[in-house]
Structure 1
């Protein structure tokens, strides 16, 4: 049913220009919801991954990791069911066991394209995606983590295990080489955006790496846009155990810039007791929302029911999350495709049928 807070219908083609920054499953989940409200989406995606099938292709072919970018393209794709099934297919035997066809397809396009970003653009055309997907940089980067006890580890896939071994918090992460240049199209998309959304996703391995690319933080600071951080629902084992909402915000400000955003959208849906107990066995728990500490950081926290439980796992609900972001955009009087709406206007995006 349509949300009662909406009454003004805007076609998706005229929907707000939204730049989303992150990586991992959280970003692709959000994109699945947002594409029902606007066609003007640009996903800016980290390329620091070095594990799994992406890591194998990165090592064997010397290309940026395709996995997070492929996930985002699949989320925004408008293809026949067979093509969608093909992109999701993972080989189960032989030397390709565990590798996804979508990764291999992007690798092949990279082989015949002058650059990785061109390969991503060509795959986007094949999948007829809504909006755009851009790598944050085309540089070959590694992620290094430094822990509070001074220990360091290089490699995104190694951070989880090293943190468990060191049993202390991550102090900071950095890219090697430091401050690679951002893709110009990513910087321009941030500049042009009506709304900039950070997350959801792994704090240190999916979101923050984007802020370490030269030009991204500066573009966010300079942009005339609503800037929102979508906080995770649960803490993440091997990365953010014990973190509150304000801990997440502090880490983003530390690696980016103080006041990089002033709104944090956080889940208010209760987590079923049995599900929470299972997460607790793995060292994870619902992220505690410490409103007073967030306020001291200059961030307004907006609590909304944006999470769901699917197959026993707590996830952001793509429809609920996207709807709350669009509602927030409309209520704060941000321009939509060249038109500005006041707080008193009611806005409803034209959902895709």
Structure 2
């Protein structure tokens, strides 16, 4: 799938959404950088973050696993990173990759260097970087409406709680409000040919990148083109009931000056194509409709289909196929 001249691509996100985009992008470029959210406060990552005062490693681990190549070596290391212990003790549900990453951080005393070492061990096809140099807390102003009652607002604190909130998210914030961005991540965005934003948990994994001031400035100033990849459907929790157009409008609300060049969507996830095209156009983008869902009709991206769609985006092939 490689392009004649592989572009330098930066993919932003976290969790399963970033895993999907990286699994596709690694098939077509060897100049690939993942910039990953560091606000996770649940599960194994949350426990390590609290106990050892480190960045939560889980989303970083998943990005590294996605970049392992499809060889016996790559598949074995990817499985090792994702392996979770099951026990009646303190190791229960810890991911092996989380422990490996944190151990390297302690040995080397450098977050980025530790991630680079893991990448070298795995033979990863790209680089993984945190979006910020310190652990972050996500806060969301949420509006809840009960039938026959006036809408009530509340603040939900923590990525794990924001991800499953059953209210309408009005505004996101980070604590600290002005966190230091990872310098290597800022440099990668400024030097990229393309930046891919999404798919993923829209508020808690995707839009949070736009709240890190130095990273947001790089996204606004970069000469790179920006592609927004929409989800295959609304998720339970934070985006329940939101249409594809609502996702774009939430992006515009949190980054009103951001120039977007392309919006990629699966036709099965779009309720009103004309409305979505108009919303994309208002941000300066063209809408590309491609079937990128797996053939089993699950809400999961097919890496080959998604890679083909990205190739069309990067080459400017926007016609129907």
1:9 to 1:303, Cα distance in 2 relative to 1, 3 A? closer
2:11 aligned partner: 20
Distance 1:128 1:230 in 2: 27
2:85 aligned partner: 91
2:95 aligned partner: 100
Q: Secondary structure at the match of 1:42?
A: strand
Cα shift at 1:66 = 0.6
Matching of residue 152 in structure 1 with residue 155 in structure 2: yes
Q: Secondary structure at the match of 1:321?
A: helix
2:35 aligned partner: 44
Determine if contact 1:45/1:133 at 8 Å carries over to the other structure. yes
Cα shift at 1:9 = 6.1
How do 1:211-222 residues align onto structure 2 when only pairs under 5 Å count? 211-222=210-221
Distance 1:9 1:243 in 2: 35
Deviates more, 1:169-178 or 1:250-259: 250-259
Distance 2:46 2:169 in 1: 23
Distance 1:175 1:90 in 2: 29
1:43-100: CA deviations, max 9, x gaps?
A: 1110011111111111111111111111110111243544333222210112211111
Determine if contact 2:14/2:37 at 8 Å carries over to the other structure. yes
Q: Secondary structure at the match of 1:56?
A: helix
Determine if contact 1:232/1:287 at 8 Å carries over to the other structure. no
Q: Secondary structure at the match of 1:220?
A: helix
1:246-272: CA deviations, max 9, x gaps?
A: 21111112212334313210002x4xx
Q: Secondary structure at the match of 2:299?
A: strand
1:264 to 1:86, Cα distance in 2 relative to 1, 3 A? same
Q: 1:300 aligns with which of 282, 286, 301?
A: 286
For the aligned residue pairs, the C-alpha RMSD in angstroms reads 2.1
Distance 1:194 1:133 in 2: 17
Distance 2:84 2:66 in 1: 17
Determine if contact 1:309/1:315 at 8 Å carries over to the other structure. no
Higher RCO by CA contacts (8 Å cutoff, separation 6 or greater): 1
2:66 aligned partner: 75
Q: Secondary structure at the match of 2:90?
A: helix
Cα shift at 1:102 = 0.7
1:244 to 1:90, Cα distance in 2 relative to 1, 3 A? same
Deviates more, 1:124-133 or 1:81-90: 81-90
Determine if contact 1:245/1:290 at 8 Å carries over to the other structure. no
1:317 aligned partner: 302
Cα shift at 1:199 = 0.5
Deviates more, 1:226-235 or 1:245-254: 245-254
Distance 2:81 2:93 in 1: 13
Distance 1:54 1:258 in 2: 33
The 4+ residue runs of structure 1 with deviation greater than 6 A are: none
Structure 1, unaligned runs of 5 or more: 3-7, 271-285, 333-342, 344-353
Distance 1:320 1:67 in 2: 26
2:274 aligned partner: 291
Q: TM-score, normalised by structure 2?
A: 0.88
How do 1:162-311 residues align onto structure 2 when only pairs under 5 Å count? 163-164=165-166, 168-268=167-267, 270=268, 286-292=269-275, 294-296=277-279, 297-298=282-283, 299-310=285-296
Deviates more, 1:289-298 or 1:117-126: 289-298
Structure 2, unaligned runs of 5 or more: 144-151
